[in-house]
Amino acid sequence: MAAEAVVAAVDVGMSVEQIAASQVGMKAIGAGLAVGLTGIGTGVAEMGIGAAAVGAIAENKDFFGLGLLFTVIPETIVIFGLVVGLLLLFL
Amino acid sequence: MGVNISAPYIYVCTRMRMRKSKLLPKEEYQRMLNMSVSEITRIVGESEYKQEIDELGTTFKGIDLIEVALSWNLAKEYQKIQEITPGTLKQFTQVYLRRWDIQNVLTILRGKMQGVPSGKIKEILVPAGSLDKVALDRMLTEESPDRIIEMLKDHRMFPVLTREYPLAKESGSFSHMENELYKHLYANIINDAKSGVKGGASFLAYIQLEIDIKNVKTLFRLRADKVDEEAREMFIPGGSLSLNDFASLNAIKDLNEFIDMIRANISNDTLHVLLDEVKAKKGGVQYIEARLTRVQLEQMEKMSKRNPFSIHPILVYLEKKKYEVFNLRALARGKESQLPSEKIVDYLVM
């Protein structure tokens, strides 16, 4: 695999160091996308739940705990993104 | 019909649902039917109306206490809702609440014409519309009705008031003016809903439902009272019925034929079930009216589930709250006049 890449890189005139650097760069972009996009997803999902939770809490304070719990459930999405990001960077 | 998924809409619609869940359940009314006025006052004082009952407890007693506390609470609630609703929802809520302006202005005009003292008139006003407490107080200090109408120069109902008031003054009856004001209000509401504002379609659907139910109620009432003249005047345009349909429905003498014609003209499943019920068992006009209101509320509930983040959840709450106040008032008044429970039940919307 790496040998093929080296052959291909030699074809376009890249050194082995350049290939290694671009691989690290690609991983970093992937990790960034994973965390960034899942972050947006979480934000969109939490918007509705958070708005409804604040509405419910405004009417009845007892909903605070439950409202908070439901609001943070979509955090799992960004955690998945974070895990994928970490795997990309450190494995 | 667009589903508006924006945070302020979700927020306010959830608040309305929470408030709706705090309204008195049917069982509570059943229990209250076996209570005296003072017991009802106590129960009311322990519920959402606590603040008003406590505040007014020193000034009013018995039935007056309940009545004034209920009106105050309703007005406070409606003003609060106008504060928290965002954007176009606020505009629609205000347009919807404008009917209270008509009621308040007519109450003041009627009171002034009959020489009722300002304090007494003030007790029955519900400052829920665009005319708040301050504006109404200013109107109450005026003695002449002409001056009161002049004060409403900037209000949307002013053209109708100036057109109809001389006639009303001459005949001594405001009923024609009242009809005209409501027709003008509905025409205005339909105009606003059709102006292409976001969410206008769902508001229009509700208004058409309300106009339909109102027209059917009027038809039943006209039948009960056996009044033929002026029927056309009471018709509100904008719903499924046309003026000609309305007039021909009113001309039908046979109840079964009348009900079949309404069925053919208005398509609404819940209404059809009620009409079959009326056909089978003849209830009094009061009972039919309360049931028709129930039909309207049920239909609105359905609409609010179909459009969870629209004007519908707000309107459902506003209407339900209004009928809770009406029910409690009917209960207290009925008990005060020592009506039997079976008779009071006919007046309750539950």
Q: Report chain B's C-alpha Rg in angstroms.
A: 21
- Residue B165 resides in a domain: yes
Of A50, A51, A55, the CB nearest to B18: A55
Q: Which residues contact B336 (CB under 8 A, 6 or more apart)?
A: B37, B62, B63
CA nearest B84: which of B4, B193, B9, B5?
B9
Name the band, by pLDDT with cuts 50, 70 and 90, for residue A6: low
Of the two residues B328 and B143, the one the predictor is more confident about is B328
Delimit the domains of chain A by residue range: 2-7+16-90
Size of the A and B interface in Cβ pairs below 8 Å: 31
| Residue A3's pLDDT band (cuts 50, 70, 90) | low
Q: Which residue in the set B5, B11, B22 is minimally distant from A55, CB to CB?
A: B11
B286 domain-assigned: no
Mean pLDDT of chain B: 85
Tokens at B117, concatenated? 């003292």
CB neighbourhood size of A1 (10 A): 5
Residue A55, chain B, CB below 8 Å: the answer is yes
d(CA B152, CA B162): 10
CA angle B73, B55, B78 (to 5 degrees): 15
Q: Does A50 touch chain B (CB under 8 A)?
A: yes
pLDDT tens-digit readout, B70-124 = 988 999 999 999 999 988 889 889 989 988 999 998 888 888 888 888 888 888 8
pLDDT of residue B81: 92
Q: What is the domain extent for residue B177?
A: 98-195
Binary contact (A59, B15; C-beta < 8 A): yes
pLDDT of A9 over the 80 cut: no
End-to-end CA distance of chain B: 29
The pLDDT of residue B120 is 84
Residue B134 lies in a domain: yes
Please give the DSSP secondary-structure letter assigned to residue A61: G
On whether the A2-7+16-90 domain is CATH 3.40.50.300, my answer is: no
Q: Which pLDDT does position B2 carry in this prediction?
A: 43
The pLDDT of B210-218, averaged and rounded, is: 88
The domain total for chain B is: 1
Mutation target to probe the B interface, by most B beta carbons within 10 A, among A47, A59, A62, A63 is: A59
3-state secondary structure of B217: helix
pLDDT in tens, A21-69: 888 999 999 999 999 999 999 999 999 999 999 999 999 999 999 999 9
Identify all chain B residues contacting A54, using CB atoms and an 8 Å cutoff. 11
pLDDT at B3 over 70: no
- Rounded to whole angstroms, the Cα distance separating B147 from B189 reads 27
Cβ of B5 under 8 Å from any chain A Cβ?
Answer: yes
- The interface predicted TM-score of the complex, written ipTM, equals 0.79
Binary contact (A58, B12; C-beta < 8 A): no
Write the single-letter amino acid at B124: I
Length of chain B: 350
Taking a C-beta distance cutoff of 8 angstroms, is the pair B347, B330 a contact?
yes
Closest residue, chain A, to B4 (C-alpha): A48
Query: For B15-27, what is each residue's pLDDT tens digit?
Result: 999 999 999 988 8
pLDDT at B199: 82
Residue numbers in A near B18 (CB within 8 A)? 55-56, 59-60
B5:A60 CB<8 A: no
Q: Which residue of B has its CA nearest to A52?
A: B11
Q: How far apart are CA B319 and CA B284, in angstroms?
A: 23
